[in-house]
């Protein structure tokens, strides 16, 4: 499908929207395709087999002002664009968007009720956010977010989505998002501070997402999330 059709499909269901750029606009921070590709090669995060973002140099398109890429495979739907100013835009569809419960929870009985979508505590939220903000660190280290980085991460269209803990175990209670309002994180901070704060930002936003689904993790649950995040980063999952 065309880029416009792909973006429309992604936006129609639960999805992440990510935007990073310097607060000081500068045209041609990345004047060449090769420079853009080098930046993405160095910044792309691969901690669990699927990269953030999905980047294959031979599958990108370049028009002199931006480099763009996409993926349409099974449940994966992504579209991204990197501008010559260093601005990054990325859309990615949630894997559990619009699927039947038996597709997610195969072999379970009883199955949970049908919802608009299903969102996994770790894989879809904590781990994804960790990859997103670690990618921002890579952009900052590549010199395109300085001196001050603007970070915007938004989770859209998750009304009536069910939060779940694992593929074979549910929470004792159902945690459902009842709101149409996007869940957002936006902040500007010195690019040099990103490397020391990215993982904490990811954890804090994950907890914010959970709260919108009416799950407030207790201290023990937060410790478990921190440990799982550490395992992800250390590739021990």
Q: What is the tens place of the pLDDT at every residue in 140-177?
A: 999 999 999 999 999 999 999 999 987 555 676 789 99
Mean pLDDT, residues 216-233: 95
CA distance 97 to 158: 8
Q: How far is CA 87 from CA 7, 75, 90, 137, 174, in A?
A: 18, 27, 10, 14, 38
| Mean pLDDT, the chain, whole residue set | 95
Q: Which residues lie closer than 8 Å to 212 by C-beta, 6 or more apart? A: 177, 179, 183
154: exposed, middle or buried (Cβ count in 10 Å: 0-12, 13-18, 19+): middle
User: DSSP alpha helices (H): ranges in 26-147?
Assistant: 33-43, 101-104, 127-141
Residue 219 pLDDT exceeds 80: yes
Q: Which letter does DSSP use for residue 185 in this model?
A: E
Q: What pLDDT, on the 0 to 100 scale, is given for residue 168?
A: 55
**pLDDT tier at 49, thresholds 50, 70, 90:** confident
Mean pLDDT, residues 54-62: 95
Nearest to 224 by CA among 203, 195, 202: 203
Question: Tens of pLDDT along 91-108?
Answer: 999 999 999 999 888 877
Nearest to 67 by CA among 58, 128, 75, 135: 58
Q: Confirm if 16 and 128 have CB atoms less than 8 A apart.
A: yes
Question: Tens of pLDDT along 170-201?
Answer: 676 789 999 999 999 999 999 999 999 999 99
209: tokens are: 């997402």
User: Can you give the pTM of this predicted structure?
Assistant: 0.96
Q: What pLDDT, on the 0 to 100 scale, is given for residue 170?
A: 62
Half-sphere exposure (CA, 13 Å, Cβ side) for 108?
A: 16
Residue 128 pLDDT exceeds 70: yes
Q: Confirm if 45 and 52 have CB atoms less than 8 A apart.
A: yes
Q: What pLDDT, on the 0 to 100 scale, is given for residue 24?
A: 97
Q: What pLDDT, on the 0 to 100 scale, is given for residue 166?
A: 75
To 5 degrees, how large is the angle CA 112–CA 12–CA 37? 110
Q: For the chain, give the percent of residues with pLDDT over 70.
A: 98
**Least confident residue range of 28-37, 103-112, 118-127, 158-167:** 103-112
β-pairing, 161-164 with 117-120? parallel
CA distance 70 to 94: 15
């Amino acid at each position: 499908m065309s880029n416009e059709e792909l973006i429309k499909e992604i936006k129609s269901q639960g999805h992440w929207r990510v935007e990073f750029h310097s607060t000081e606009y500068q045209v041609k921070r990345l004047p060449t395709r090769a420079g853009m590709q080098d930046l993405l090669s160095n910044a792309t995060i691969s901690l669990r087999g699927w990269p953030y973002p999905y980047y294959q140099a031979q599958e990108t398109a370049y028009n002199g002002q931006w480099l763009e890429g996409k993926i349409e495979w099974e449940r994966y739907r992504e579209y991204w664009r990197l501008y010559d100013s260093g601005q990054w835009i990325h859309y990615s569809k949630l894997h559990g968007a619009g699927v039947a419960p038996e597709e997610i929870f195969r072999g379970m009985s009883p199955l949970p009720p049908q919802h608009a979508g299903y969102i996994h505590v770790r894989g879809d939220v904590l781990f994804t956010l960790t990859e997103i903000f670690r990618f921002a660190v890579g952009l900052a280290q590549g010199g395109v977010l300085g001196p001050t980085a603007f970070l915007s991460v938004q989770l859209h269209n998750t009304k009536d989505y069910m939060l779940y803990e694992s593929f074979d175990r549910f929470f004792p209670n159902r945690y459902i998002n009842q709101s149409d309002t996007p869940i957002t994180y936006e902040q500007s901070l010195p690019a040099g501070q990103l490397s020391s704060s990215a993982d904490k930002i990811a954890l804090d936003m994950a907890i914010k997402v959970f709260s919108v689904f009416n799950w407030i993790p207790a201290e023990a649950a937060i410790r478990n999330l921190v440990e799982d995040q550490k395992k992800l980063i250390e590739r021990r999952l």
